[in-house]
Amino acid sequence: MKQNESSVTSLVSAFSRAYHSRYDNPIIFDDFVAKDLISPQEFSNIRKNMIRGAEFFNKEIAQKLQDDPEEILRCITQVQLSPTPLARAAFCEKILLHEIFLGVKQYVILGAGLDTFCFRHPELENSLEIFEIDHPATQEFKKKRLTDANYIIPNNLHFVPMDFTDTCSVRHLLDRGVANTKTFFSLLGVSYYLTKEELARLIDHLFAELPSGSSIVFDYADETFFEEKGMSNRVENTIKMASIGGEPMKSCFSYVEIEKMLEKSSLLIYEHLTPAMINEQFFLNRTDYLTAFENIHYIHAVKK
């Protein structure tokens, strides 16, 4: 991964969260810190690129709204960029806060990018240790952004530079300060880019030595993902963009496959949200373009 590639991916994700926090109503997931990690020039550049690329996302919409660039941006952001990052983050953090109430003291974020949980919850500084696991280039980029925005890294936030798809195991994490105690993991927006074998191995290695009650939240694409076009071709667009960006999507799963994979690592599915359930829980009765992404499911699995 090159520095600039890491930066672009992280910035676009932060842009979608910042846009939602500033312009959408009602709010699904309020990442009010994300805007601080993007410069005004970068926000403007991403905005312009999205509007210019409207025909790639949807030619009909691009032509229909050609005289209204702000509506084009709103449509692209709400249809293509925002739905899954917003809803899965809301799902994950709701569970995390409940787990903290039940006594979890440790949160490990796999593929953290420009995650802002720590800065949105300063009240947890003395009660929750947070470990962000990501590529070194991504983490250096994030540290610079935090410095530029005058954020002070709190004592409970720990950066662990690591290609977790190759080397991540409980042993690696323990060597880097993670305690061998009940732990909550998030793995959001990652499973698609791993093979089935890589995802199974990662989960198995993570939970091998951790105590009962440790858990993970992740999202995954179902077995029809690569055949689906989606609303305004957004599923097909997502697959194309990943391929063009040099990180092709590699895997999709049936629910039975996910269940068996987790069972082999002594994990039981505690909660599973289908696209219809996600839409009902997070997008019901909206009057804008935001709807749950087709074929994307959320899982909360707990070690027996």
18 pLDDT more than 50: yes
Given this model, what pLDDT does residue 11 score? 86
- Pairing type for strands 106-110 and 129-134 reads parallel
129-142: average pLDDT: 93
Q: What are 74's two structure tokens?
A: 């709103």
Given this model, what pLDDT does residue 163 score? 77
Q: What is the spatial distance between Cα 220 and Cα 171, in angstroms, rounded to a whole number?
A: 26
Given this model, what pLDDT does residue 5 score? 55
Which SS3 state, helix, strand or coil, does residue 1 take? coil
Q: Which domains does the chain have, with CATH numbers?
A: 3-81 (no CATH), 84-303 (3.40.50.150)
CA 194 to chain centre: 14
166 pLDDT more than 90: no
Given this model, what pLDDT does residue 1 score? 47
165-186: average pLDDT: 84
118 pLDDT more than 70: yes
pTM score of the predicted model: 0.94
Q: What are 278's two structure tokens?
A: 């996600």
Q: What are 55's two structure tokens?
A: 């025909």
Q: What is the spatial distance between Cα 109 and Cα 113, in angstroms, rounded to a whole number?
A: 9
Given this model, what pLDDT does residue 90 score? 98
Given this model, what pLDDT does residue 6 score? 56
60 pLDDT more than 90: no
DSSP state at residue 284:
T
Instruction: Yes or no: say if 73 and 50 are a contact pair by the CB < 8 Å rule.
Output: yes
Provide, rounded to the nearest whole percent, the portion of the chain with pLDDT above 70.
96
294 pLDDT more than 80: yes
**Which pLDDT tens digit goes with each residue over 226-237?**
999 999 999 999
DSSP state at residue 222:
B
Which SS3 state, helix, strand or coil, does residue 282 take? helix
148-160: average pLDDT: 96
**Which pLDDT tens digit goes with each residue over 77-104?**
999 999 999 999 999 999 999 999 999 9
Radius of gyration of the chain from its Cα atoms, rounded to whole angstroms: 19
pLDDT band, very low/low/confident/very high, at 213 (cuts 50, 70, 90): very high
Please give the residue that has the higher pLDDT: either 12 or 216.
Answer: 216
